[in-house]
Structure 1
Amino acid sequence: MTIHVLVPLAEGFEEIEAVTPIDVLRRAGVDVTVASVGGPVVKGARGILLEADKTLDECADKDYDMIVLPGGMPGAVNLAGSAVLAGMLRRHREKDLPLAAICAAPAVVLNPLGLLGENRVACHPSVREKLGDTNRTEERICVGKKLVTAAGPGVAMEFALALVELLQGREKAEELAKAMVVI
């Protein structure tokens, strides 16, 4: 059975936080759809241009096994401004499917939508105060059964491997980590 993951991108996304999970998940055989909030080419926070597979509007009616949100500023704010993405995230959570977010995205995108629950949430220190006491932690990565969060670009590889482990198991994640000389 093919696993389908959506990675939405908005202008100002953090390149490492987007490309690392996309790459690692694709190495694991996951079908990853990169969807832009706007046009077909999205400019990252460091000026790197990334061509999306589709627009978010084209993906709005499809269900994915996981949605992965990269952070970056103003990328996370721009993701949060998408009504289409908000609807997809709410529907995804209602179906009890896993979400993942890194850097500013947990606090800026998921928190205002009420999608964090009682989970401890890792996010970038610059936006940590946006989280409530229940969610706030200084951990670099938090892995739950339905939510994976990480603090920022320096944790992108660990974050990506945690996604593989959640979707395909520890053995597959370790196999990839060895092949990429992470361990």
Structure 2
Amino acid sequence: MKRALVILAPGFEEIEAVVPIDLLRRAKIEVVVAGLLPGVITGSRKIRIIPDYDLEDVLEEQFDCVILPGGAEGAENLKKDIRVKELLEKQLSTGRWIAAICAAPSCLVQFGLLPYSKLSCHPSIWEEIPQDRLDKYSAVVVDGHLITAQAAGRAVEFAFEIIRRLLGEEAVEEVNRSFLSSLGPRMEPEIA
């Protein structure tokens, strides 16, 4: 079974966390939610979420994908935590996926990771991204083992791309059969 880690930092963007958690779990991917701090983590819209684990408890585990939700405050908190950098370096050294959305791609730039990879992000951080790496027009960008997306409004596309990369197009189609997103593959719902 494929495994994904979603890291929640105080101030994370709720949609960018919950949509991938939900859709990946529908795809039968084991999703582990870990907080930078123990206990409840409060998002940017003051929604409080209790992660499955403290990040410290899962640092030695292997994940097929590490997912970084954005949110301006959330991304700043991710950047301040050396454990996040070390975890992302481990992902890269083992050829595993990293997915970051909204302001979270700025973490990769600050950490000096994937210095040549193209990425998408929220327009509010365009100035933080080297212009030769920035794709201002694509909702979701895949470059090597990096998946990035613009913002909360692209969370479904972002999650579908993670599923596609971990399990294939058929898994995306299966999830969308009941989810019925206009952003997923076009299909008729199954009628029981």
Q: CA RMSD in A?
A: 1.0
Q: Distance in 1 between matches of 2:93 and 2:46?
A: 35
Q: CA deviation at 1:85?
A: 1.4
1:136 equivalent in structure 2 = 134
Q: Distance in 1 between matches of 2:143 and 2:178?
A: 25
The TM-score normalised by the length of structure 1 is 0.95
Q: 1:8 aligns to what SS in structure 2? A: strand
TM-superposed deviation, 1:19 = 0.2
- The residue identity in structure 1 corresponding to 2:89 is R
For the 8 Å contact 2:27–2:174, the answer to whether it is kept is: no
Residue pair 2:119, 2:148 contacting (<8 A) in 1 also: yes
Offset of residue 178 of structure 1: 2.7
Offset at 1:117? Answer: 3.2
Normalising by structure 2, report the TM-score. 0.91
Letter in 2 for 1:124: H
Residue identity opposite 1:5 in structure 2: A
**Which shows bigger deviation, 133-142 or 31-40?**
133-142
CA distance in 2, matches of 1:145, 1:39: 33
The reply on whether 1:56 has 2:87 as its aligned counterpart is no
Residues 21-40 of structure 1, C-alpha deviation per residue, up to 9 Å, x if partnerless?
A: 00000000011100000022
> Structure 2: how far apart are the matches of 1:179 and 1:105?
29
Q: How many pairs are equivalent? A: 181
| Paired residue secondary structure (2:72) | coil
Asked whether the 8 Å contact 1:40–1:51 carries over to 2, the reply is yes
Aligned residue for 1:169? 168
Please give the residue correspondences for 1:18-29 in structure 2 after superposition, counting only pairs within 5 Å: 18-29=17-28
Post-superposition Cα deviations, 1:104-140, rounded to whole Å, max 9, x if no partner, equal: 0001x11111223322100000001111122111122
1:124 paired to 2:122: yes
Q: Which residue matches 2:111?
A: 113
1:79 matched residue in structure 2: 78
1:92 deviates by: 1.1
Contact 1:116 1:135 in 2 (8 A): no
The percent of aligned pairs where both chains have the same amino acid is 38
Cα distance, 1:158 vs structure 2: 0.5
Unpaired runs of at least 5, structure 2 = 183-192
* Secondary structure of 1:163's aligned partner: helix
Q: Is the 8 A contact 2:9 2:41 kept in 1?
A: yes
By how many angstroms is 1:71 displaced? Answer: 0.1
- Contact 1:86–1:113 (CA under 8 A) maintained in structure 2: yes
Q: Which structure has the larger Rg?
A: 2
CA contact (8 A) 2:35 2:41 kept: yes
Contact 1:40 1:53 (8 Å CA) reproduced: no
